[in-house]
């Protein structure tokens, strides 16, 4: 009987005794041995053992002669397997579609590092075709020098995801991330590589850097334009020498070293300091200016360094921070540095070397982060020779020197400066003064011992005092009473010594002319208010000037 049953090969036959023990299985039934335990349990649960179940193939059971016969129909199982295969195929197609449409290169290898799939983007990025790679072990590609290193092999070795920069012999550089894929038992079965084109990324990065550079340039130019349009900020530089000074100042603003600005009084040293600070990375922190020549020697030390409580009579009980501390993270401008007394020069040198200060009467060093810019109209090298200035301090301060020449040595700046100051006055007072050519020549021929400050002063005064919109040389002579020599200069140039000997200081002449005008107006008009209106100045300004020139109504 068993022999007979064994020959049945289209249906599974399983024979059990009433206790559920297996007595016989044919070859088809054996394929389902994995499910036997569940099948037998289900069959035994039916009192008459008669049932039709699906486990996973369809089964029918009935009892016969104290035995239970279980018939297993494999047809349904085949249908199910076919369906599963189809859906797996669909899934694989979809997955391939996703992989192949990716812009990133994707390469899949098996657990030994043999490439089993690569998408078209990988070839586009690297120049390596599927023909070159599929079926090849990455070890071989590495040994042949096609790639300099393999992320897959590294991931297999380290048993974790890795990212490397890989160079390919086609000239590409790529960023490869290799991720191991594991089965249900945790074994690595595949490695998926994601490949990105660094050559392209590098180009993009370079483009971004270029754009950032352009952005900064535009920003700087805008700042400069803003400054040019702001009369308080605009620095006029028309002569070649001043263009160099301006260029140097802008470059120096990007470096954090010491700067020594040298030049006679009124040439614009302080303006350069403002400019350097405004363009430096310290611009959002304080710029503190101190004129070393204007503060009594006894006070200068405590002003600069501060003092601890009770360090001298009259000092604040709590002590006080000095200007170095106040300027922390910013810039400190030491004007007239040549006037700094020798003992303080030693202390200043320490600040420059150690970047810390000690308050007067204190012992605790306080760190300070400051940039020091110094200026002087004196010849410091001469002062060093005569022992009035320390040589070591000179070299510390003078890391980058900026020299601003006198106005007479850069006459190309005179006319632009005149227009600059004139525009400012015209704008401020709603007037429209201009200078005639002969007046402008007179300005050019003058030596301007007080430099730009003197020029500014004269332009503003004459423009305000003149009653005519156009100020010619006669008006200038009339207004200032100093122009005999200038006129002489224009029409018949004289030697400089002759001019010098005849000329009174311009400021004195201006003052006496201003006093004369005020006196005339005061005598002519019945009240100070009316005189002030006629002169187009505030009543309070007129009163102040009357006091200055000792004029009474
Ligand atoms: N190139 C310039 N463009 C516009 N204004 C200027 C220029 N140079 C100087 N000035 C003006 O001249 C005046 C004097 O300039 P500044 O105070 O900077 O000179 P300084 O050399 O520091 O003088 P001092 O040595 O007496 O302190 C200021 O009102 C300033 O605005």
pLDDT of 78 reads 67
Q: According to the model, what pLDDT value does residue 487 have?
A: 44
Check if 235 has its Cβ closer than 6 Å to any atom of ligand 1: yes
Mean predicted lDDT score pLDDT of the chain:
86
pLDDT at 264: 94
More confident of the two residues 535 and 232: 535
Q: What is the ipTM of this complex?
A: 0.98
Domain 410-548 falls under CATH 3.40.50.2000: no
Q: Is residue 134 predicted with pLDDT exceeding 60? A: yes
* In the chain, where the domains are located: 2-78, 102-226, 230-405, 410-548
Query: What beta strand segments (E) does 407-528 contain?
Result: 434-435, 470-471
Beta strands in 247-362 (DSSP E): 259-262, 287-291, 306-307, 320-321, 331-335, 356-358
For the chain, give the percent of residues with pLDDT over 90.
46
Average pLDDT for 306-311? 79
Predicted local confidence at residue 194, as pLDDT: 95
525 close to ligand 1 (CB < 6 Angstrom): no
Report the run of H or E that residue 470 belongs to, with start and end.
strand 470-471
Q: Would the CA dihedral through 6, 7, 9, 12 be positive or negative?
A: negative
Region 460-479: what's the mean pLDDT? 83
Return d(Cα 321, Cα 324) in angstroms, integer.
8
The HSE-up count of residue 408 (CA atoms within 13 Å, CB side) is 11
Rounded Cα distance, 11 and 9, in Å: 6
Q: Is the pLDDT assigned to residue 36 strictly greater than 60?
A: yes
Per-residue model confidence (pLDDT) at position 497: 38
Q: Give mean pLDDT, residues 254-278.
A: 93
Q: Is 230-405 in CATH node 3.40.50.300?
A: yes
Average pLDDT of the segment spanning 180-189: 92
Q: Which of 13-17, 41-45, 235-239 has the lowest mean pLDDT?
A: 41-45
User: CB of 336 closer than 6 A to ligand 1?
Assistant: no
CATH number for the domain whose boundaries are 102-226: 3.30.450.20
| For range 414-419, the mean pLDDT | 93
Identify which of 245, 247, 266 to mutate to test ligand 1's pocket (most ligand atoms within 8 A of the CB).
Answer: 266
> For residues 157 and 279, what is the distance between their CA atoms, to the nearest angstrom?
54
* CB contact at 8 A, 73 and 58: yes
Residue 275 in contact with residue 286, Cβ under 8 Å? Answer: no
pLDDT of 468 strictly over 90: no
Q: How confident is the model at residue 225 (pLDDT cuts 50, 70, 90)?
A: low
- Name the CATH superfamily for 2-78: YNR034W-A-like (3.40.1840.10)
Q: With H, G, I as helix, E, B as strand and everything else as coil, classify residue 344.
A: helix
Average pLDDT (63-80) is 81
Best of 271, 278, 405 for a ligand 1 pocket test (most atoms within 8 Å of beta carbon):
271
pTM here is 0.52
Query: In this model, does residue 535 exceed pLDDT 70?
Result: yes
Task: Give the span between the Cα atoms of 169 and 200, in whole angstroms.
Answer: 17
């Amino acid at each position: 009987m068993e022999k007979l049953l064994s020959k049945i090969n289209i249906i599974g036959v399983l024979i059990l005794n009433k206790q559920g023990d297996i007595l016989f299985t044919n070859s088809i039934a054996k394929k389902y041995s994995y499910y036997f335990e569940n099948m037998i349990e289900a069959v035994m649960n039916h009192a008459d053992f008669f049932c039709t179940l699906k486990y996973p193939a369809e089964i029918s059971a009935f009892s016969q002669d104290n035995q239970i016969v279980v018939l297993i129909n494999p047809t349904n199982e085949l249908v199910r397997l076919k369906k599963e295969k189809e859906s797996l195929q669909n899934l694989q197609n979809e997955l391939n579609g996703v992989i192949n449409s990716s812009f990133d290169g994707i390469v899949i290898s098996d657990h030994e590092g043999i490439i089993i799939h690569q998408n078209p983007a990988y070839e586009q990025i690297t120049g390596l075709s599927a023909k070159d790679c599929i079926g090849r072990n990455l070890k071989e590609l590495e040994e042949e020098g096609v790639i300099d290193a393999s992320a897959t092999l590294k991931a297999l070795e380290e048993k974790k995801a890795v990212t490397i920069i890989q160079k390919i012999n086609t000239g590409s550089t790529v960023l490869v991330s290799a991720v191991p894929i594991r089965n249900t038992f945790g074994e690595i079965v595949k490695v998926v590589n994601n490949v990105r084109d660094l050559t392209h990324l590098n180009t993009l990065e370079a483009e971004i850097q270029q754009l950032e550079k352009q952005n900064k340039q535009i920003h700087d130019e805008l700042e400069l334009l803003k400054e040019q349009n702001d009369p308080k900020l605009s620095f006029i530089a028309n002569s070649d020498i001043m263009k160099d000074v301006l260029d140097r100042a802008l470059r120096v603003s990007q470096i954090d070293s010491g700067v020594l600005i040298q030049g006679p009084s009124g040439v614009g040293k302080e303006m350069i300091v403002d400019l350097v600070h405004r363009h430096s990375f310290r611009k959002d922190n304080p710029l503190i200016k101190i004129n070393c020549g204007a503060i009594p020697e006894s006070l200068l030390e405590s002003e600069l360094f501060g003092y601890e409580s009770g360090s001298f009579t009259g000092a604040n009980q709590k002590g006080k921070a000095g200007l170095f501390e106040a300027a922390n993270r910013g810039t400190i401008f030491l004007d007239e540095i040549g006037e700094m007394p020798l003992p303080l020069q030693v202390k200043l040198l320490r600040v420059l070397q150690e970047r810390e200060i000690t308050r007067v009467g204190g012992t605790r060093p306080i760190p300070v982060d400051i940039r020091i810019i110094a200026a002087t109209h004196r010849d410091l090298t001469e002062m060093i020779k005569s022992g009035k200035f320390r040589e070591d301090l000179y070299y510390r301060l003078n890391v980058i020197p900026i020299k601003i020449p006198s106005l007479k040595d850069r006459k190309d700046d005179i006319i632009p400066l005149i227009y600059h100051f004139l525009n400012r006055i015209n704008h401020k007072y709603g007037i429209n003064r201009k200078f005639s050519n002969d007046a402008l020549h007179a300005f050019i021929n003058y030596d301007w011992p007080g430099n730009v400050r003197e020029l500014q002063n004269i332009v503003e005064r004459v423009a305000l005092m003149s009653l005519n919109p156009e100020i010619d040389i006669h008006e200038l002579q009339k207004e200032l009473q100093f122009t005999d020599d200038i006129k002489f200069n224009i029409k018949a140039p004289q030697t400089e010594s002759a001019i010098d000997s005849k000329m009174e200081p311009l400021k004195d002449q201006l003052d006496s002319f201003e006093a004369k005008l005020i006196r005339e107006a005061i005598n002519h008009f019945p009240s100070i208010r009316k005189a002030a209106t006629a002169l187009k100045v505030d009543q309070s300004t007129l009163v102040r000037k009357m006091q200055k020139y000792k004029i009474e109504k």
